[in-house]
Amino acid sequence: MKLKFNNLKDLLIFNIKYYRYVNNYSQEKLAELSKLSPRYITDVERGLHCPTIPKLESIAKSLNIEPYILFMNENRDKAIIDKMNNNRQYNQK
């Protein structure tokens, strides 16, 4: 399943969430592994913060991917996307 994004920031946010779900990590677990605060991970996923390169490297390492993968738009597993959409606590843009 290939998705369209309005800009690079939206793609980055989606990929962080997507690979977090692929790894079956909570935001708290990703924060712990990447040595960032849970609030920071939440704010990144909500689009309130844009991570610096060192933080992106830490997040990517914790997600078991290379950092450049966070900027790639490739085919996605529909089951993962469905799981992401079903687990939303409230509607986001």
**What fold characterizes domain 1-63?**
434 Repressor (Amino-terminal Domain) (1.10.260)
pLDDT above 50: residue 46 = yes
Q: Residues 52-60: what's their mean pLDDT?
A: 98
CB atoms within 10 A of CB 3: 13
Res. 92: pLDDT tops 90: no
